[in-house]
Structure 1
Amino acid sequence: MENIQTSRRDFLKTTGLTSFGLALGISAFSKDAIVKKINPAILKLEINPFIIIDTAGNITIVNPRPDMGQGSTQAVPSLLAEELEVRLDQVKIIQSDGKDKYGSQTSGGSSSVRSLWEPIRKAGAAAKEMLTESAAKRWNVPVAECFAKDGTIIHKPTGKSLTYGELADDASKLEIPKNPKLKDPKDFTILGKYNKRLDVPERVTGKAIYGIDIDVPGMVYASILHSPSLHGKIVSIDDSETKKIKGVLKVVKTERTMPHRTSEAVAVIGTNYWAALKGRKALLVKWDNADYEKTLSTEKYFAETYEAAKKEGINFEEKGDFNAKYSSAAKKLESNYETPFLAHAPIEPENAVVHVKDDGYIEIWAPVQGPDWALRDVCAYMKVAPEKVKINVTLLGGAFGRKAYHDFLLEACHLSKELKKPVKVVWTREDDISQGPYRPGMLSHMQGFVQDGKIAGYHHHAIGESILNQVYKGLKPDEADPWLSEEISTNNNKYHFDVASKVSWTHVKTDIPVVWWRSVYASNFGWGQECFIDELAHLAGKDPVKARLEITKDERFRKVLETLAEKSAWGAKLSEGQGKGIAVFKSFDSISATCITVTKKDNGVKIDKVVSIIDCGYYVNPDNVKAQTEGNIVMGITAATKDGITFTNGVCDQSNFHQYNIMRLNEMPEIEIHIVDSGASPGGVGEPGLPPIAPALGNAIFAATGKRMRKLPFDISNLV
């Protein structure tokens, strides 16, 4: 498998394709995806989706999902290779460019394998059947006597063989089978198996190309000074010291465009990045921050959420009359669970190269999560047609949702248009952490009651800023946010309450920019849900695992919980000072459960072990499932025990990793990860392992110390 960073015009030269034989596209990403043939004459002008087999036997696939570390450069070709009966090292990859013909192209929501599982396999199976039929006709033998292996069609009785390249032209003349037969999962040789990621050597040796590596002729560098209060206005600019620095070319007033507002900024342009950054540090800019010094405050925001918790929200779902049943209940509880704003902090900060050319065409090189979304945003901002924009997507050095928010890309567009040359914008780590956007801080107001020794009533009132509202302006004033409400609905998490249940929502707005963060709202609301279910289990006098099983009828959920109990030795006797906590949550069509063991240590606890169970249905590579779950464990513990993002007097209190800490290697506990092979349709992998981490830890702390943690983050070494 070769990952090719190439332009369409250089495609023939780069891939080594000689003349086109068989080219197949997919007209839709769904179970009903239609495989279609592409005219080779058109291919010579521009590569079309998705699969091209040339007369030399080269196999190329267009990858519609950028790789930000989640492994799409292995997953997508694996889907093809499995059905086409070729090895992974026989498939070459080029990245899609945002054009509509490639369908959805955004890596996010743990959606890549889920959305491509059948369409790509269907195209591979169709190509295999066409190649097999071509060989059978050439030999004048029954199709049933022929089979595919490693890029060849072999005649069983005689051992004769023809390569895919030799058959490609003939195959291109055949009708595409409407319903090609997909392999039975029991016959898989690639999917669900351990396979090396063939792109790893390039990444560890520095040969892989990330956005920050891009260098184009005539390029200048821009380092941008944003307002400390995010939305402050420029009063004056003193660039006298900046212009004395060697390599500084110009100081330009510019703008940062976010979905909910545009803010003023100042860019220093240099012949190299160091000159631009040094020049920026020498700038003296006076800002008018008066409008935000008092209003842009996390303390004020959370005060509003707690006030909202005292009132009724907008109902999303309700079974029975919850308020009446709760009011008359003899054994009941009410709690608030808080989660902070969080920065994404990808290891590669935001960057982009944009060239707005004299003829109005725009070429972009950038590590974006979705070239389709990037194309949409650039076209709207620059007021140009999609045909006038060319996006080259590089590898991403992490993203977690941040690089699907294109403020940094639009900054580069604005500056290139102003300067009439290619501009490379690079954000610093301080920009990344102090400017956002962030995971929204949220509050879960929880109510519940116990009846006849069983959890019988439950209410989750979600409170905070809405991504749907701020980013998409798509939330009606009288509507419960459907994105987050569905996440915590009983339909999603399968808890069944015999007497009454309710999910409600209150919108508390903020000008602090927000966007999705790894696992989106599941990371916020898994905390409240699973800690509160634990509280209700203790109120009922029930073991936390048994209490959950009592209110769970769904077999997949039950299997995950039972597997967790088994693998974590849930019922085993603990050492003095130890405690175990569990949590389970469904997100992105996958179910994940976690058990964490802690031991009391001085005024805090030490995390001894984390056992995670995931049922993600069919998957590509178990090694990648475990790697992604490990990453989720690290981010989940970090989010629970390290620093959140706070704003005081309009300014972010954190600027770099000395104030926004991440988990260190020496803090890593023992980890076990187990996959439940349910045979269900593929679910997500990159995010579902995160939501149960914080609540499992909170529940473990309660089991070991009797202290109930309800606000994230907390200092694990000092729980007094």
Structure 2
Amino acid sequence: MENIKNSRRNFLKTSAVASFGLALGISGFTKDASLKKISAAILKLEINPFIIIDTAGNITLVNPRPDMGQGSTQAVPSLLAEELEVSLNKVLIVQSDGNGKYGSQTSGGSSSVRELWLPIRKAGAAAREMLTTTAAKRWNVPVSECRAEDGKIVHTTGKSLTYGELADDASKLEIPKEPKLKEAKDFKIIGKYNQRLDVPERVTGKAIYGIDVDVPGMVYASILHSPAIHGKVVSIDDSETKKVKGVLQVIKTERTMPHRTSEAVAVVATNCWAALKGKKALKVKWDNAGYEKSLNNADYFAATTEAAGKPGINFEEKGDFSAKFAAAKEKLEANYETPFLAHAPIEPENAIAHVKDDGSVEIWAPVQGPDWTLRDVCGYLKVKPEQVKINVALLGGAFGRKAYHDFVLEACHISKQVKKPVKVIWSREDDISQGPYRPGMLSHMQGFVDKGKITGFHHHTIGESIARQVFKGLKEDEADSWIGGELSIENSKYQFDAASKVSWTNVKTDIPVVWWRSVYASNFGWGQECFIDELAHLAKKDPLKARLEILPDERFQKVLNTLAEKANWDEKLPEGSGKGIAVFKSFGSISACCITVTKKDQGVRIDKVVSVIDCGYYVNPDNVKAQTEGNIIMGLTAAIKDGITFTNGICDQTNFHQYNILRLNETPKMEVHIVDSGSVPGGVGEPGLPPIAPALGNAVFAATGKRIRKLPFDINNLG
């Protein structure tokens, strides 16, 4: 709780009083580093965390990536501890607060390790060199006779000095620009199984999540949103609400999203239960005119299907695909559809905001990025960054949802009116029925084969653009560049001898969208890998061999061959059973999956899932496997459970009884295997998901002969 209640500024102030020692910023190591660029409207975010070593020898890492379950509070300090030659339990974690000097602070895009791999290690190595140099000077011995070991610098004679004893003098040295990093063969922490030091508090309930945070003098707000999301308030009848003990006020408020602002009504009370009870008693008349059409699944997907019959905007093309497709003798064409999906993190959206009379603002919230939160709060309240303090708690899941700050801005709006710290907690119904969602997408696929080989391939991606709706960064005549992150030849490595093409059509909607675990890769992996399977069968080729033919890249080959071995791809299966495979690269990692199914009554049973991932260098293999297992569960859920649908402007799903997730008794056997390629680190939290649905679809075809092209589908009744 101390880390939540004490600000980063207070921490630094307290540390300074205790004799600061060595404070090492690493911005010098990250020049020109940035997250993926999707348009000029997207900010370039540089990584810039800090390492602090005080005179008592305490080592503090300002962690720039909030932990939402992906393990950043283990992974990031592991990089530092490795180079500093200390054990993990000697590194104290303090979460960054959004201050610009810490650079990029958003957990997303599976970026924590792959973006911090060199900067954090270089910072640790630089600190080690500075401490070693300081000790050598004190002893008047060559640096080569000194080594770092367990928080000390040790001389060949056995004498030693602790980091704390050296910190002040070391801080006066110039920071080495290119410190020598440890070689992989010398790693003691990175790549090894290490106990997660953060797990005991989480499983015993001692860990503090956003929903647990308490601030003196705060009140609670429960918000009634329009069933049609963007509906307007016509009238409010709060007569019954005000009879509820503990209710203080009923106020009209607003929900500010990147693409528009919607009206809402908040019940403010002395406690959470009173606010909820008051909300249930509230009667609001809404004007939902016009949203029956703009918030409608059937109309949206009808528009995507219509777009499939027209040319899209080219993102990439090799050869004249249209001409060669027209002339091809053996060809296929099909549409693959993926639904809107809610994130549904276990901890729903919540935030505490205190907008004070002096213009200062303090936020306590489980957000994926304090830097983006700071930006959004400043823009919304028209205040300066130095007036805002962001306190980030642990996140009880997010999957992209908690980098969308509508719930934080709601708390700000209400606090400004009631002039108190206000805690807003969304209900599960709010979370599922209000969005934002993974966009529903259509993949219009075309391809052809020649002499038993897949030689032509076109992926026409169709749907709403996150870049357009969230960032307003997409022109009408340009393709969404995020599709290239997964489907370009440079990324996918598929080589088609005759022609290939990736195109885009933006079908707009008022349904709010944002990234969802693995972003577009979960949409487009379905179309790409199922259609590759279709073309393989058209070519009368084994689906694995057909892929190996058009994937000359060594890493892809190793992943697929490892999958074939671990999943026993060539084994003869009994009638009614089948295996399906898929491979996809996203966020710098290659993941492949093989799923085995067996006919059961009118459907199939999922028997086993084998996943193989090449994520380059990684920190902890146990975490890689855990994240991949999570991707398997979420990928299967997205394939066979409920999607989000809208009828007459209103979301049809409100809670887990209508938006089901895979249950324990439905979970198949799982195996995860890691390919140690020694490549630069890729992501782990998301890449394991995209191959799951297509591997399942291909397995269903292998077992039943039925080709599934629309998600979700009923695995118990294939029709």
Report the TM-score, using the length of structure 1 for normalisation.
0.96
Which amino acid is the alignment partner of residue 19 of structure 1? S
Tell me if structure 2 keeps the 8 A contact 1:232–1:287. yes
Counterpart for residue 84 of structure 2: 84
Distance of 2:344 and 2:325 partners within structure 1: 42
Alignment of 1:453-602 (within 5 A): 453-602=452-601
Distance 2:3 2:158 in 1: 33
- Which residue does the alignment assign to 2:43? none
Which consecutive residues of structure 1, in runs of 5 or more, have no partner in the other structure? 34-47
Q: Which residue of 1 aligns with 2:45?
A: none
Shift of 1:294: 2.9
Q: Which aligned segments of 4 or more residues in structure 1 are displaced greater than 4 angstroms? A: 2-5, 12-17
Secondary structure class of the residue paired with 1:424: strand
Maintained 8 Å contact 1:15/1:92: no
Which residue identity lines up with residue 689 of structure 1 in the other structure? G
Q: In the alignment, is the contact (CA less than 8 A) between 1:599 and 1:607 conserved in 2? A: yes
* C-alpha distance in 2 between matches for 1:593 and 1:370: 30
Contact 1:6 1:14 in 2 (8 A): no
Q: Is the 8 A contact 1:31 1:119 kept in 2?
A: no
CA contact 1:365–1:394 (8 Å) conserved in 2: yes
Give the whole-Å Cα distance in 2 for the aligned partners of 1:317 and 1:10.
51
- Return the alpha-carbon distance in structure 2 between the equivalents of residues 384 and 29 of structure 1: 31
Partners of 2:4 and 2:427 in 1: how far apart? 28
- How many angstroms does 1:170 deviate by? 1.7
- Give the match for residue 218 of structure 2: 219
Instruction: Kindly indicate whether residue 101 of structure 2 is the aligned counterpart of residue 106 of structure 1.
Output: no
Q: Distance in 2 between matches of 1:548 and 1:487?
A: 17
Q: Does the 8 Å CA contact 2:563/2:594 hold for their aligned counterparts?
A: yes
2:49–2:103 contact (8 Å) kept in structure 1? no
Aligned-partner residue type, residue 62 of structure 1: V
- String of CA shifts for 1:304-344, please: whole Å, max 9, x gaps: 10011111111111111111111111100000000000000
Contact 2:105/2:370, CA 8 A, preserved across alignment: yes
**3-state SS of 1:472 partner:** coil
The DSSP-based 3-state class of the residue aligned with 2:467 is: helix
8 Å contact 2:228–2:650 — kept in the other structure?
yes
Match of 1:384 in 2: 383
Q: Which amino acid aligns with 1:416?
A: S
Map Cα deviations across residues 517-571 of structure 1 (whole Å, 9 max, x no partner): 0000000000000000000000000000100010011111111111111111100
Opposite residue 23 of structure 2, the aligned amino acid is: A
Does the 8 Å contact 2:8/2:97 carry over to 1? no
How far apart in 1 are the matches of 2:663 and 2:49?
A: 43
Tell me what 1:64 maps to.
64
TM-aligned CA deviation for residue 576 of structure 1: 2.5
**Distance (whole Å) between structure 1 residues aligned to residue 129 and residue 12 of structure 2:** 26
**How many Å apart are 1:664 and its aligned residue?**
0.2
CA distance in 1: counterparts of 2:452 and 2:528, whole angstroms: 19
Shift of 1:202: 1.1
* CA gap 1:415/1:162 in 2 versus in 1, 3 angstroms: same
Aligned to 1:122: 122
C-alpha change, 1:224 and 1:288, in structure 2 (3 Å) is same
Deviation of 1:15 (Å): 7.4
Aligned to 1:314: 313
CA distance in 2, matches of 1:91, 1:365: 24
Q: Indicate conservation of the 8 Å contact 2:49/2:64, yes or no.
A: no
CA distance in 2 between partners of 1:177 and 1:287 (Å): 63
Please tell me whether residue 7 in structure 1 is matched to residue 7 in structure 2: yes
Q: Secondary structure, in 3 states, of the residue corresponding to 1:557? A: helix
CA pair 548-31 structure 1, distance change in 2 beyond 3 A: farther
> 2:697 — aligned with what?
698
Shift, 1:19, TM fit: 1.3
1:14–1:77 CA distance, 2 compared to 1 (3 A): farther
Q: Match for 1:188: what amino acid?
A: F
CA distance in 2, matches of 1:679, 1:420: 55
- For residues 465-506 of structure 1, the C-alpha deviation after alignment (integer angstroms, 9 at most, x for no partner) is 000000011111110111124421222100000001111111
* Equivalent in the alignment of 1:343: 342
Partner of 2:44: none
Letter in 2 for 1:119: P
Shift of 1:293: 1.8
Residues 1:17 and 1:190: Cα distance change in structure 2 (over 3 Å): farther
Partner residue, 1:138: 138
What is the CA-CA distance between 1:30 and the residue it aligns to? 3.0
What one-letter code is carried by the residue in structure 1 that aligns with 2:51?
I
Counterpart Cα distance in 2 of 1:14 and 1:623: 36
- For the residues of structure 2 that align with 1:629 and 1:175, how far apart are their CA atoms? 42
Q: What is the CA-CA distance between 1:12 and the residue it aligns to? A: 6.3
Aligned amino acid, residue 229 of structure 1: A
CA contact (8 A) 2:294 2:511 kept: no
SS of equivalent residue, structure 2 residue 8? coil
The amino acid across from 2:95 in the alignment is Q
The residue aligned with 1:199 is 198
How far did residue 14 of structure 1 move?
7.9
Structure 2 equivalent of residue 150 of structure 1: 150
Give me the TM-score of the superposition, normalised by structure 2: 0.96
Aligned pairs, how many?
Answer: 704
Change (3 A) 1:210 1:15: farther
* Distance of aligned partners of 1:372 and 1:531 in 2 relative to their CA distance in 1, 3 Å threshold: same
- For 2:393, the equivalent position in structure 1 comes to 394
Structure 2 stretches of 5 or more lacking a match?
A: 34-47
Provide the secondary structure at the position in 1 that maps to 2:250.
strand
The 8 Å contact of residues 640 and 712 in structure 1, kept in 2 or not, is answered as yes
CA distance in 1, matches of 2:98, 2:489: 36
Conserved? CA contact 1:4–1:93, under 8 Å = no
Cα deviation 1:246-293 (Å, max 9, x = unaligned): 000010000000011101000000000100010000011111112112
Q: Distance in 1 between matches of 2:508 and 2:398?
A: 25
Q: Distance in 2 between matches of 1:10 and 1:317?
A: 51
Report deviation, 1:8.
2.9
Deviates more, 1:637-646 or 1:550-559: 550-559
- What amino acid is the match of 1:466? S
Most deviating of 627-636 and 143-152: 143-152
Maintained 8 Å contact 1:5/1:95: no
CA distance in 2: counterparts of 1:683 and 1:437, whole angstroms? 27
2:603 corresponding residue in structure 1 = 604
Distance 1:692 1:49 in 2: 34
Per-residue CA deviations over 1:181-225 (Å, capped at 9, x if unaligned) read 000011100000001110111111211111101111110000000
Partner-residue secondary structure (3-state), 1:113 = helix
Query: What is the letter of the counterpart of residue 87 of structure 1?
Result: S
Please give the secondary structure, in 1, of the residue aligned with 2:21: strand
Matched, 1:50 2:50: yes
> Which residue is 2:331 aligned to?
332
Fraction of identical pairs, as percent: 81
Residue matched to 2:629: 630
1:460 partner amino acid? H
